[in-house]
Amino acid sequence: MPLTDLPAEALRGYRAEHTPPADFDSFWSATLAEAEELGRAPVFTPVETPLRTIDAFDAVFSGYAGDPVRAWLLLPRERGGPLPCVVEYPGYGGGRGVPLDSLVYASAGYAHLVMDVRGQGGGWRTGHTPDPSASGETHHPGFMTQGVLDPERYYYRRLMTDAVRAVSAAAAHPGVDADRIAVMGASQGGGLALAVGGLRGDLAAVITDVPFLTHFRRGAELAAEGPYLEISRYCRVHRDQVDRVFSTLRYFDTLSFAPRAAAPAEFSAAAMDAVCPPSTVYAAYHAYAGPKDIRLWEFNGHEGGETHQHLRRLAFLQRVLGG
């Protein structure tokens, strides 16, 4: 696959011009306050699995509008006191799957919460959390344009709120050390991690690989495959709503969240990524306000670093969370 975004040198210096909406902060503080108000304490139920080294719990916590959201909490069976915890968000189209899908972090000694994604889970990994607040607006097949003409009704308002609440849910479990929680994800998961990074002040770390939900306009103009295309296809039909679409998306763009973040962050981008163009990732990287580092995978597409990335993440977690 040839390079389709900027060459490496230009990539590394790429910065976007971006202004969040004027009421960005009030929009989000109202949204989160409402969710908190409607929330109940999370419930953790042990589940039986074929695993001998890891304990798994089916978690249910209150997300947007108090809607119930599921997650797995995985803990190494042999453990002492409360553990540092990694809260992970799946990529687009996937759900939390089954515990067997997520062995790395608990095997490495961390508490690991894998959040389900409302409505998603029919694309590559199963999920079990509906989106009861779905408002059913006209949209392009997929989730990217559900409610996109109105920030209040946009799908990611709900999902990002869930992601913020997932951290509180993890913190509520006695096996978790609430002072050492990292958020993590790749693609959509990486976008959510950045959003949560900008919305919560209590995180110990942010890990974001080939993040999606970033520099939406450039993504929609540059991506050759993947969910940014839902936006460009919607705009193809709704030719007269293009400005309104991108006006909504500014409330959910990681470029709006990144300057509000403070936790140490580890980024990665992939130079041949046709789903989340690497320049959009560098734009977020440069906008990020906390301590940060980035790795460019020069010959990779959206798969990014794969196992190498897990190893890099573990080394970073070891540094920032201990272990």
Instruction: Return the closest-CA partner of residue 16 out of 208, 218, 199.
Output: 218
3-class secondary-structure state, position 3: coil
316: nearest Cα among 269, 267, 278, 257:
267
Write the CB contacts of 249 (distance below 8 Å, at least 6 apart in sequence): 148, 216, 217, 231
Q: Least separation, in Å, of the C-beta of 283 and a second copy?
A: 15
Indicate the burial class of 116 (C-beta count within 10 angstroms; 0-12, 13-18, 19 or more): buried
Q: Which residues are CB-contacts of 39 (< 8 A; sequence separation ≥ 6)?
A: 61, 62, 66, 165, 168
Contacting residue, 39, 66, 85, 125, with a second copy by CB under 8 A: 125
Instruction: Identify the active-site residue in 187, 232, 268, 279.
Output: 187
Residue list 232-261, contact with a second copy (CB under 8 A): 232-240, 242
Distances (CA, A) of 183 to 111, 131, 313: 12, 22, 11
Q: Per CB under 8 A, which of residues 33..62 are in contact with a second copy?
A: 50-54
Within 55-94, which residues bind a second copy (CB under 8 A)? 76-78, 93
173 an active-site residue?
no
Minimum distance, C-beta of residue 43 to a second copy, in the bound complex (Å): 20
Closer by beta carbon to a second copy, 213 or else 261 = 213
Span of 104-112, 169-177, 205-213, 278-286 interacting with a second copy by CB under 8 A: 104-112
* Smallest gap from residue 227 Cβ to a second copy (A): 8
Tell me the C-alpha distance between 242 and 245, whole Å. Answer: 5
Say how far apart CA 207 and CA 197 lie, in whole Å: 9
CB of 195 to a second copy, least distance (A): 21
Are 74 and 106 spatial neighbours (Cβ–Cβ below 8 Å)? yes
Is 4 one of the binding residues for a second copy (CB under 8 A)?
Answer: yes
Total of residues contacting a second copy (CB under 8 A): 84
The answer to whether 92 is annotated as binding is yes
- Residue selected from 55, 209, 230, 253 as contacting a second copy according to rule CB under 8 A: 230
What tokens does 259 get?
Answer: 């300057």
Q: Which is nearer to a second copy, 56 or 261 (CB)?
A: 56
Known catalytic residue at 293: no
Which of 43, 65, 103, 172 binds a second copy (CB under 8 A)? It is 103
With CB under 8 A as the contact rule, the residue among 134, 172, 262, 289 that binds a second copy is 134
Site for a second copy in 189-228 (CB under 8 A): 220-224
109: left (phi over 0), alpha (psi -120 to 50) or beta: left
Among 207, 258, 272, 283, binds a second copy (CB under 8 A): 272
- Positions in 280-319 near a second copy (CB under 8 A): 297-301, 303, 305, 307-308, 310-311, 314-315, 318
Among 135, 250, 286, 289, binds a second copy (CB under 8 A): 135
Contact 197, 100 (CB under 8 A): no
- Which of 45, 124, 150, 259 forms a contact with a second copy (CB under 8 A)? 124
Q: Rounded to an integer, what is the distance from CA 244 to the centroid of its chain?
A: 24
Known catalytic residues?
A: 187, 273, 302
